[in-house]
Amino acid sequence: MRESVKSLLKNKNYMSYFFSTAFSMGSSNILQFTLALFILEKTGSPLIYASILSVIVIPRVLLTPIGGVLGDRLNRVNIMRTLNLIQVLIMVIYAIYSGIYGDISLVSVYVLVVTLEMIEVFYNTAESSILSEIVNKEEIEEAVTLSRIDDGIVFVSTPIVAAFIYNEFEILGTFILISVLLVLSFTLTFFIGTPHALETKKEKEKGFIGYILEFKEGIAELNNNKFAKIFVIVAPLINFSFSAVFSVVITYVFLEVFKVSDYLYGYYRMATAGIGLLVPFFILPIIKKFKPEKLLKYSSLSISAILFLIGGCVYMGMKGGKEEIFVAVCLITVLDCLIITSVIPLNIATQVFFQKNIKNEYRSRIMSVFSMLALSSEPLGNMFYGFLSNMLPAYICIFIASGAVLTSYPLILYVTKDRQCSS
């Protein structure tokens, strides 16, 4: 592994991809974090915040299949480059608007979130499928692991940076920072080469019918892959509750119920992201030893159990005073870190499988189906748990989420019974 890592660190194409995606992801994370602070500061409502996060389900459902077809039709680097440029232009417009008027409306936030999500649908289908074109097949595990470390660095750094910029320079400063990061991402795409790309182009049917036929081809290929089908079924079930707890419920609990400072919330996010940074260094042997479906079983059980414990911590903090709140925040942070150790190995194993075992000409389409279902479940979950948070105590919402994740386990057993999945 060490030699492969050294080789990757010397690979101009991979390192350009590494930093380009880091800047792009960083801009997205900073925006999401800042919008949480901005909306909850303006409204104090978890439902409004959740509704803004949830509107992104529309472009995800409608556009992801098209994005998958385009990702298999067109040059994936060119897709990333073009969309980075469009994002820059949008953020510059919002920076100018907020600079003139000193603020932005909730309506403009909805417009921004939906517009950027439409762009990210196409960006993500290209970005998530391109790695096997950049590095050789023998280096995929190490490349995916390094990319997860890349993600960890981003998640560690962005919360505290976002909190500082928003508190010191308000929303205008955030828009300027995001614009700079996207310019850097755009510039680096010019240095990404794809020496391992395979020429698989064939005559394509033009027009809407052509897109439908190609998408159906991807569905047929997916139907022949037992492993992919398992994840297409189960991942949305887990994401629906798991992601919402941390995106909506915990954010609401920390900022509005526990009344922690923006900076303390940023440090919480940074601490949990730090674990996400460290875990990939140690999990490659696990990924190579265990089949992905076994990791899926482990993840469903451990996530459910940890969510239940987090619900207990929230209950303790809500029913106690300052000391109990402090203890609850510390325990939630530790438990969040434990959940990350369950999720990351599964994510890496999944990415490795898709890069190594899905044909290049179908990869964007198959991953677009997976992403459409898995990622669309997140905003739906955000909306559902945002609604619950307005009706029920937060700890009850988290207990419900724990039970919902647990229901995925018997489904996994049923789907994998008497089946030998590829790994």
Average pLDDT over residues 158-164: 84
Q: Which of 120, 115, 125, 121 is nearest to 73 (CA)?
A: 125
167 contacts: CB under 8 Å, gap ≥ 6:
262, 263
Evaluate whether residue 56 is within a structural domain. Answer: yes
d(CA 380, CA 378): 5
Q: DSSP labels for 146-212? A: HHHHHHHHHHHHHHHHHHHHHHHHHHHHHHHHHHHHHHHHHHHGGG---TT----------HHHHHH
Q: What pLDDT is stored for residue 68 in this prediction?
A: 73
> Which residue did the predictor score with more confidence, 194 or 353?
194
- Dump the DSSP string for 21-77: HHHHHHHHHHHHHHHHHHHHHHH--HHHHHHHHHTTHHHHHHHHHHHHHHHHHS-HH
Range among 54-58, 75-79, 85-89 rated most confident = 85-89
User: Which of 354, 363, 375, 386 is CA-nearest to residue 61?
Assistant: 375
Tokens of 383: 């909306």
- The residue among 112 and 213 whose pLDDT is bigger is 112
Residue 198 lies in a domain: no
Domain count for the chain: 1
Tell me whether residue 6 is in a domain: no
Question: Which range (36-40, 86-90, 230-234, 393-397) has the least confidence?
Answer: 230-234
Residue 15: which CATH number?
1.20.1250.20
| Cα angle 309-57-340, degrees, rounded to a multiple of 5 | 30
Report yes or no on 197 lying in a domain. no
Tell whether 102 is covered by a domain.
Answer: yes
Average model confidence (pLDDT) across the chain: 80
Q: Which two tokens stand for residue 22?
A: 């880091």
pLDDT in tens, 383-421: 788 888 888 999 999 999 999 999 888 877 776 664 444
Residue 27: per-residue pLDDT:
92
Q: Copy the structure tokens of residue 286.
A: 């696990």
Q: What is the pLDDT of residues 283-340, one digit of tens each?
A: 666 666 766 667 777 888 889 999 999 999 999 999 888 889 989 988 998 898 888 7
The answer to the question of residue 265 being in a domain is: yes
Summarize pLDDT for 166-192 with one digit per residue, the tens.
888 888 999 999 999 999 999 999 999
For position 287, what pLDDT does the model report? 65
Residue ranges making up the domain that contains 152: 11-191+205-416
Residue 10: its pLDDT value, please?
Answer: 85
Per-residue confidence (pLDDT) for residue 216, from 0 to 100: 73
Q: Which residue has the higher pLDDT, 272 or 200?
A: 272
Least confident of 50-54, 124-128, 385-389: 50-54
For the chain, give the percent of residues with pLDDT over 70: 84
pLDDT value at position 407? 87
Joined tokens for residue 47: 């439902």
Residue 199 domain flag: no
For residue range 56-66, what is the model confidence (pLDDT) as tens digits?
667 767 777 67
301 part of a folded domain: yes
Predicted local distance difference test score (pLDDT) of residue 281: 64
pLDDT at 95: 93
Cα 53 to Cα 125: distance, rounded to the nearest angstrom: 20
pLDDT in tens, 255-293: 888 888 877 777 787 777 677 667 666 766 666 676 666
| The two three-digit tokens of residue 5, written as one number | 């890592």
